[in-house]
A and B are shown apart, each in its own frame.
Chain A
Amino acid sequence: MSQHGVALEISGLTKRYGDVTALAGVDLSVAPGEFITFLGPSGSGKTTTLNAIAGFIEPDEGTIDLDGRSITGVPPWKRDIGVVFQNYSLFPHMKVSSNVAFPLRQRRVPKREMAKKVDEVLEIVGLSHLADRYPRQLSGGQQQRVALARALVFGPKLLLLDEPLGALDKRLREGLQLEIKRIHREVGVTFVFVTHDQDEALVMSDRIAVFNEGHLEQVATSQELYEHPETLFAAQFLGDSNVIHGTLESRGDRHALRVGDRAFEVMDPRGAAPGSEAAIMIRPEDLVVRPVDRESPVDHDGKTTPAEVTEVIYLGGRRRIVLSALGQEFIADEMSSVHDHKPGDSVVVTWSMGQARLVSTD
Chain B
Amino acid sequence: MSVSVTATDESPDAQTARGRPSIVRRLSRRPTTLLIWLPLLLLAVCFAYPLLQMFRLSFTDFVGSTSGVFGNYLWFLGTDTQMTILRRTFAVAGWVTLMCLILGFPYAYLMTIVGPRMRLLMVGVVLLPFWSNLVVRTFAWVILLRDSGPVQSLLHAIGIDDLRLLGNTVGVTIGATQVLLPFLILPLYAALSGIDRSLLTAAHSLGARPAVAFVKVYLPLAVPGILAGTSIVFILTLGFYFTPALLGSPRNSLVAQQIVTQVSELLAFGRGSAIAFVVLIITFVVLGLVGLVTRRYRRSFETGLDL
Q: In the complex where A82-B205, A89-B198 touch, is A142 in contact with B7 (Cβ < 8 A)? A: yes
In the complex, what residues of B have CB within 8 A of residue A154's CB? 206-207
In the complex, what residues of B have CB within 8 A of residue A182's CB? 3
Query: In the bound complex, do residue B204 and residue A77 qualify as a contact, i.e. CB atoms below 8 Å apart?
Result: yes
In the complex, what residues of B have CB within 8 A of residue A91's CB? 199, 202-203, 217
In the complex, what residues of A have CB within 8 A of residue B217's CB? 91
Query: In the bound complex, do residue B204 and residue A123 qualify as a contact, i.e. CB atoms below 8 Å apart?
Result: no
Q: For the complex, what is the distance from the CA of A328 to the CA of B205, rounded to whole Å?
A: 50
In the complex, what residues of A have CB within 8 A of residue B220's CB? 93
Q: List 14 A-B contacts (CB under 8 A).
A: A56-B201, A76-B204, A77-B206, A78-B207, A81-B205, A85-B202, A87-B198, A127-B5, A136-B302, A138-B9, A139-B9, A140-B9, A172-B8, A186-B3
In the complex, what residues of A have CB within 8 A of residue B221's CB? 92-93
Tell which of B206, B301, B302 touches A103, judged by Cβ atoms closer than 8 Å.
B206
Query: In the bound complex, do residue A93 and residue B301 qualify as a contact, i.e. CB atoms below 8 Å apart?
Result: yes
Which A residues have a C-beta under 8 Å from some C-beta of B? 1, 54-56, 75-83, 85, 87, 89, 91-93, 102-103, 106-107, 120, 123-127, 134-142, 150-151, 154, 172, 175, 179, 182, 186
Q: 8 more A-B contacts (CB under 8 A) besides A1-B1, A77-B213, A140-B9?
A: A75-B204, A78-B207, A85-B202, A91-B217, A93-B300, A102-B216, A141-B8, A141-B9
Query: In the bound complex, do residue B207 and residue A89 qualify as a contact, i.e. CB atoms below 8 Å apart?
Result: no
Query: In the bound complex, do residue B199 and residue A134 qualify as a contact, i.e. CB atoms below 8 Å apart?
Result: no
In this complex, the member of B5, B196, B302 whose beta carbon has the largest number of chain A beta carbons within 10 angstroms is B5
In this assembly, does B156 line the interface, its C-beta being within 8 Å of a C-beta of chain A? no
Chain A nearest Cβ from B247, distance in angstroms = 40
In this complex, the member of B9, B198, B208, B213 whose beta carbon has the largest number of chain A beta carbons within 10 angstroms is B9
Q: Which residue of A lies closest to B12 (CB)?
A: A139
Chain B nearest Cβ from A81, distance in angstroms = 7
* Tally of contact residues, B, Cβ under 8 A: 35
Query: In the bound complex, do residue B301 and residue A126 qualify as a contact, i.e. CB atoms below 8 Å apart?
Result: no
Chain A nearest Cβ from B90, distance in angstroms = 30
Tell which of A56, A82, A107, A179 touches B5, judged by Cβ atoms closer than 8 Å.
A179
The 8 A-B residue pairs with the shortest CB-CB distance in the complex, in nearest-first order: A126-B5, A106-B207, A89-B202, A141-B9, A139-B9, A103-B206, A83-B205, A92-B301
In the complex, what residues of B have CB within 8 A of residue A92's CB? 221, 301-302
In the complex, what residues of B have CB within 8 A of residue A138's CB? 9, 12
In this assembly, does B11 line the interface, its C-beta being within 8 Å of a C-beta of chain A? yes
Tell which of A56, A126, A134, A140 touches B300, judged by Cβ atoms closer than 8 Å.
A134
Q: Which residue of B lies closest to A88 (CB)?
A: B202
Query: In the bound complex, do residue B202 and residue A83 qualify as a contact, i.e. CB atoms below 8 Å apart?
Result: yes
Q: For the complex, what is the distance from the CA of A355 to the CA of B303, rounded to whole Å?
A: 55
In the complex, what residues of B have CB within 8 A of residue A135's CB? 301
Chain B nearest Cβ from A355, distance in angstroms = 39
Q: For the complex, what is the distance from the CA of A186 to the CA of B1, rounded to whole Å?
A: 8
Chain B nearest Cβ from A87, distance in angstroms = 7
Q: For the complex, what is the distance from the CA of A89 to the CA of B303, rounded to whole Å?
A: 16
Query: In the bound complex, do residue A106 and residue B212 qualify as a contact, i.e. CB atoms below 8 Å apart?
Result: yes
Query: In the bound complex, do residue B198 and residue A85 qualify as a contact, i.e. CB atoms below 8 Å apart?
Result: yes
In the complex, what residues of B have CB within 8 A of residue A81's CB? 205
Query: In the bound complex, do residue A172 and residue B9 qualify as a contact, i.e. CB atoms below 8 Å apart?
Result: yes
Chain A nearest Cβ from B194, distance in angstroms = 11
In the complex, what residues of A have CB within 8 A of residue B1's CB? 1, 120, 123-124, 186
Q: Which residue of A lies closest to B303 (CB)?
A: A136
Q: Which of B210-237 contact A (CB under 8 A)?
A: 210, 212-213, 216-217, 220-221
In this assembly, does B4 line the interface, its C-beta being within 8 Å of a C-beta of chain A? yes
In the complex, what residues of B have CB within 8 A of residue A75's CB? 204, 209
In the complex, what residues of B have CB within 8 A of residue A142's CB? 7, 9
Q: For the complex, what is the distance from the CA of A7 to the CA of B267, rounded to whole Å?
A: 86
Chain B nearest Cβ from A342, distance in angstroms = 42
Query: In the bound complex, do residue B12 and residue A137 qualify as a contact, i.e. CB atoms below 8 Å apart?
Result: yes
In the complex, what residues of A have CB within 8 A of residue B207's CB? 77-78, 80, 103, 106-107, 154
Q: For the complex, what is the distance from the CA of A123 to the CA of B196, rounded to whole Å?
A: 28
Query: In the bound complex, do residue A102 and residue B206 qualify as a contact, i.e. CB atoms below 8 Å apart?
Result: yes
Query: In the bound complex, do residue A127 and residue B205 qualify as a contact, i.e. CB atoms below 8 Å apart?
Result: no
Q: Which residue of A lies closest to B200 (CB)?
A: A89
Q: For the complex, what is the distance from the CA of A102 to the CA of B213, rounded to whole Å?
A: 10
In the complex, what residues of A have CB within 8 A of residue B6's CB? 126
In the complex, what residues of A have CB within 8 A of residue B5's CB? 125-127, 179
In the complex, what residues of B have CB within 8 A of residue A141's CB? 7-9
Q: For the complex, what is the distance from the CA of A78 to the CA of B5, rounded to whole Å?
A: 32
Q: Which residue of A lies closest to B212 (CB)?
A: A106
In this assembly, does B10 line the interface, its C-beta being within 8 Å of a C-beta of chain A? yes
Query: In the bound complex, do residue A136 and residue B3 qualify as a contact, i.e. CB atoms below 8 Å apart?
Result: no
Chain B nearest Cβ from A133, distance in angstroms = 10
In this complex, the member of A85, A106, A124, A150 whose beta carbon has the largest number of chain B beta carbons within 10 angstroms is A106
In this assembly, does B13 line the interface, its C-beta being within 8 Å of a C-beta of chain A? yes
In the complex, what residues of B have CB within 8 A of residue A56's CB? 201, 204-205
In this complex, the member of B204, B207, B212 whose beta carbon has the largest number of chain A beta carbons within 10 angstroms is B207
Q: For the complex, what is the distance from the CA of A123 to the CA of B205, rounded to whole Å?
A: 22
In the complex, what residues of A have CB within 8 A of residue B4's CB? 126
Q: For the complex, what is the distance from the CA of A55 to the CA of B202, rounded to whole Å?
A: 12
In the complex, what residues of A have CB within 8 A of residue B12's CB? 136-139
Q: Which residue of A lies closest to B16 (CB)?
A: A137
